[in-house]
Amino acid sequence: MQDLVTVVGGSGFIGSQVVRALARKGLRVRVAVRRPHLAGDLRMHGDVGQIEIVQANIRNPDSLARAMDGAAACVNLVAVAFERGRQKFQSLHVMGARNAAEAARAAGATRFVQVSALGADADSPAKFARSKAAGEAAVREIFPDAVVIRPSVVFGPEDDFFNRFGSMATMSPALPLIGGGKTRFQPVFVGDVGRAIAEAAVRAEAAGRTYELGGPGVFTFRELMELLLKEIQRRRLLLPIPFAAAGALGAVGDVIAMTPFPPPITSDQVKLLKADNVVSEGAPGLSDLGIVPTTVESVIPTYLYRYRRGGQYADMPQPV
């Protein structure tokens, strides 16, 4: 497929990698974002004129119609980790996904890729996971052959996982282990996720499939924190916090979420941590898209050095 792909919400952590991967395939890419003046650097991911930045809001069908004009395929990446103001799970993950699918179908697009999350489940106690499952269903009402991508925790230089706890480790004597740190994760590299989404947008055999993306290793939350502390060369107490107590912390986070500051954790995120976040046995994944998964250990040294004492020079002899 050598045509135009509209990427909705393409200026974020994963989106920039999707835009790069699509451009490398020789496709024209239109990136639809709420604030196009902040996304100009995306043009550098392709040749001159290959990548176009346009304004669109997934809650506004008219703006989506303009963004989809002439597109042969659409990738929807819009998501939030917690609710704030008008940025609600229902309005973005469900109604927004439906808006994007309807606009793409009306524009004559034949392919749709919905980026969801591992753990999406209509019966989940977590509102986030329920909304992701509802978004998948809404898209497939309009595009029965839509491709669904469900990544586990995504890591990379601008991630919100290792960076969050790395920053916390520079200020706090302890790192919290919600539920004792027993929840299992299968972290996946952002570059692999970007390539997988690009492949899903162009491979005919991907139509109608759901891909669960995880890296080559499965870790408990405690093991990930130990890996982090080893990499940043800091000793911190790993403090187990029972889910009951974590619920109280989440309630405080819910209040913080109503302010301009990001919450350390919300009550909904505590509920998410009660279930493992790993790829289902036998589920299609990276290998089915021709991608060899990248290990956590090979990537985190390239960016977590910033949380060491001395930063990138931490291993160098210090002047007397």
One-letter identity of residue 199 = E
Its pTM stands at 0.94
* Chain position carrying tokens 């989404």: 197
Sequential pLDDT tens for the chain (320 residues): 458 999 999 999 999 999 999 999 999 999 999 999 988 899 999 899 999 999 999 999 999 999 999 999 999 999 999 999 889 999 999 999 999 999 999 999 999 999 999 999 999 999 999 999 999 999 999 999 999 999 999 999 999 999 999 999 999 999 999 999 999 999 999 999 999 999 999 999 999 999 999 999 999 999 999 999 999 999 999 999 999 999 999 999 999 998 998 898 999 999 999 999 999 999 999 999 999 999 999 999 999 999 998 777 666 554 44
Domains of the chain: 4-155+187-216+277-293 (3.40.50.720)
User: Under a CB-based contact definition with an 8 Å cutoff, are residues 319 and 245 in contact?
Assistant: no
Q: Which two tokens stand for residue 217?
A: 């290793």
User: Under a CB-based contact definition with an 8 Å cutoff, are residues 293 and 216 in contact?
Assistant: yes
* Chain position carrying tokens 């309005």: 91
Predicted local confidence at residue 86, as pLDDT: 86
Predicted local confidence at residue 160, as pLDDT: 94
* Chain position carrying tokens 């499939």: 209
Instruction: Please choose, from the candidates 215, 236, 230, the residue with its C-alpha nearest in 3D space to the C-alpha of residue 279.
Output: 215
Q: Which two tokens stand for residue 280?
A: 């289902």
CB-side neighbour CA atoms (13 Å) of 94: 13
Q: State how far the Cα of 273 lies from the Cα of 183, in Å rounded to an integer.
A: 6
Predicted local confidence at residue 312, as pLDDT: 72
Q: State how far the Cα of 94 lies from the Cα of 216, in Å rounded to an integer.
A: 31
Predicted local confidence at residue 254, as pLDDT: 93
181 — alpha (psi -120 to 50), left (phi > 0) or beta?
A: left
Q: State how far the Cα of 113 lies from the Cα of 283, in Å rounded to an integer.
A: 17
Cβ within 8 Å of residue 243, ≥6 positions away: 178, 179, 270, 273, 274
